[in-house]
């Protein structure tokens, strides 16, 4: 009797996903809350056919190569896949997947919550109430910024950016967006800015939804922040490294922009002594853009569906490197493909 394929799941996920995997494989789940260390990941990867990973897991060349040809698929429980070595995986014939679509609205909602929390000083007010600092109502206390009538600039008008922009329109905001090219499929009411500088200069609120690539690393830095209004508020629901967080700290501390709401930071988790945490005009959440019960379940199930399809020899729902399954790619072709894969992600999510 043939041995069942083996799957390593790097964190406890919804039981629906585990049940789906168990129809085709023997499943081992990492039960510790903390992620497996590099040594532990290497040990697990030696004799499994599939890995269900998430954004905190670095699936690099060492992890991919240690399986000696057995590993067939890595399913990332995230839209972004900057934690995966797609180039090496493609060269080795290892399929990789992500979970697009299922977390779009949930992430946009969290971004909007951050924008409202910063603009209306919700976190500061809550903290003052709890600390007993709120003793009197005063006309000049806790003054915020109205969304209605303000200008929002979205950097990266992909699926998440568009969902964020639609919500802004419902709040009677003017919406600008910067993309590599204008989108003709989103209807009227959204103004395209060919130049990033235009979107930055006009923004009362700036929302960043671009994926992290070599081109977008520190895409928003000192020079870009210097173009923004002193009253502007920055929201980042993309990846932490898209923004230069040291430059952001300096701009916030010096009053060159008014506030920031961050669901992502560089690094993650953000250290307790990071200078951003000393500022009252910053709200930081622990990368919870997709953290609703339904969305996290749907993400886990989609990741499991990708693994089941690959192990069963069927088309994967969301493979990011389909050429890997031909096992004909060389390193040069793998590098070319990885670039194309990132471009596709930009088209979809930016």
Tell me which of 167, 178, 239, 310 is the catalytic residue: 239
- The reply to whether 120 belongs to the active site is no
d(CA 122, CA 120): 5
Residues whose CB is less than 8 angstroms from the CB of residue 216 and which lie 6 or more positions away in sequence, other chains included: 210, 242
Q: Are 156 and 150 in contact, with CB atoms under 8 Å apart?
A: no
Contact present, 350 and 161 (Cβ < 8 Å): yes
Q: What is the DSSP letter of 190?
A: E
CA distance 315 to 65: 24
Choice among 22, 268, 335, 348 that is catalytic: 268
Give which of 59, 65, 7 is closest to 36, Cα–Cα: 59
Which residues neighbour 3 within 8 Å (Cβ) at sequence distance 6 or greater? none
The length of the chain is 350
268 classed as catalytic: yes
Chain centroid offset of residue 220 CA: 16
Cβ(279)–Cβ(253) below 8 Å: yes
| Residue from 11, 91, 287, 310 carrying the catalytic annotation | 287
The answer to whether the beta carbons of residues 99 and 124 sit under 8 Å apart is: no
Instruction: Give catalytic status of residue 239 as yes or no.
Output: yes
Q: Tell me which residues are annotated as active site.
A: 239, 268, 287
């Amino acid at each position: 009797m043939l041995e069942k394929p083996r799957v390593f799941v790097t964190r406890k996920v919804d039981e629906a996903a585990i049940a789906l995997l168990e129809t085709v494989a023997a499943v081992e789940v990492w039960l510790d809350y903390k992620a497996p260390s590099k040594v532990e990941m290497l040990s697990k990867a030696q004799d499994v056919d599939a890995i269900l990973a998430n954004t905190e897991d670095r699936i690099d060349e060492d992890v991919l190569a240690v399986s000696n040809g057995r590993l067939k698929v890595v399913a990332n429980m995230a839209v972004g896949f900057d934690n995966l070595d797609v180039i090496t995986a493609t060269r080795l014939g290892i399929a990789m997947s992500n979970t697009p679509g299922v977390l779009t609205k949930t992430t946009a909602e969290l971004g909007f919550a951050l924008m409202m929390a910063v603009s209306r000083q919700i976190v500061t007010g809550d903290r003052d109430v709890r600390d007993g600092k709120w003793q009197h109502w005063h006309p000049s206390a806790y003054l915020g910024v109205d969304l209605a009538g303000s200008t929002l600039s979205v950097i990266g008008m992909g699926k998440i950016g568009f969902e964020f922009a639609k919500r802004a329109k419902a709040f009677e905001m003017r919406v600008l967006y910067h993309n590599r090219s204008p989108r003709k499929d989103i209807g009227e009411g959204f103004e395209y800015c060919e130049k990033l500088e235009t979107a930055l200069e006009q923004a009362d609120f700036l929302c960043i939804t671009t994926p992290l690539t070599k081109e977008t690393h520190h895409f928003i830095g000192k020079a870009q922040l210097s173009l923004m209004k002193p009253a502007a508020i920055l929201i980042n629901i993309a990846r932490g490294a898209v923004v230069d967080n040291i430059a952001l700290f300096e701009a916030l501390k010096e009053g060159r922009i008014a506030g920031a709401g961050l669901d992502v930071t560089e690094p993650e988790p953000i250290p307790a002594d990071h200078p951003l945490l000393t500022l009252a005009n910053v709200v930081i959440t622990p990368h919870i853009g997709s953290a609703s019960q339904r969305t996290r379940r749907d993400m886990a199930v989609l990741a499991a569906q990708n693994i089941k399809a690959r192990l069963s020899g069927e088309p994967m729902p969301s493979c990011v490197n389909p050429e890997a399954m031909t096992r004909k790619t060389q390193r040069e072709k793998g590098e070319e493909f990885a670039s194309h894969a990132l471009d596709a992600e930009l088209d979809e999510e930016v």
